[in-house]
Amino acid sequence: MFQIAIRTSCTALLLLLMPALVWLSGWLWSPGMSDNILRPFYAITETVSAPWGTLTNIILCAWFLWCLRYRLKPAIVLVLLLSMAVLIGQGVKSYVKQQVQEPRPYVQWLAKTQGLDVAKFYEQKRKARGLQVRQQLDNMEDKAEIPHWLGNSWQKDTDFAFPSGHTMFAATWALLGVGLLWPRRHYKTIALLIVWATAVMGSRLLLGMHWPRDLMAAVAISWVLITLSCWLAQKLCGPFAPPVQEQQEIQTREPE
């Protein structure tokens, strides 16, 4: 348990670095960034959004099982634990959002520039909020300021900001990678997951969806859940360290 906690803690601190620096810099989202920059980040954020997030979850579950080489019964238990960790994180996110009720950056911007009443906006149902966002964007004098695809994305994400569910999803998998795959030296997978999670977090900032503190809170919640989940997985499925017959193979192969 101690080794797992050390690994996940170091990774959580690494994930916190980017939003912490953005927060300390005083940077605030505003429209006008080049479409050539925003488009790739939108593609990254879509890997966590419905319906693509489900596909990402399935692919990562399958890859983790291959990396860990579990037998059928432990594999089923591990898949259930991995899926539960992601789902519980999303449930915690939804509960906290309702308690904190923090508006998203783009909602604050619409309030400042278009006279949107934030309190009344969030009193409406999700569909009505999406329609109001569309109306606000249609009434803008400079419609080119907000790309059409970004406006469509805003219409889908009209709930509260704190904490970031997209960040929680990506950070959960990055932390799971460190917790489960480190003993088998799958370092490239771990590095890719950390880079991907950081890119997802950056996309949420650049698309006007979240504040830096939303990302930081999401990483902290994920860290708690994943540290406990990895410990439980080890208890139920056995140690993550490879059996003796695999040790020589792991020592001689290239990482990943």
Q: Could you tell me if 89 and 172 are in contact, meaning their C-beta atoms sit under 8 angstroms apart?
A: yes
**Does the annotation count 148 as an active-site position?**
no
Q: Which of 29, 169, 210, 222 is catalytic?
A: 210
Task: Give the DSSP per-residue string, 174-190.
Answer: HHHIIIIIGGGT-HHHH
Q: Which of 104, 166, 184, 204 is catalytic?
A: 166
The residues, any chain, with a CB within 8 Å of residue 94's CB and separated by 6 or more, are 165
Q: Could you tell me if 197 and 171 are in contact, meaning their C-beta atoms sit under 8 angstroms apart?
A: yes
The one-letter code for the residue type at 149 is: W
**Does the annotation count 166 as an active-site position?**
yes
The closest alpha carbon to 232, from 96, 74, 110, 114, belongs to 74
- At 92, is the secondary structure helix, strand, or coil? helix
Bond before 239 cis per omega within 30 degrees? no
Residues assigned a catalytic role: 166, 210
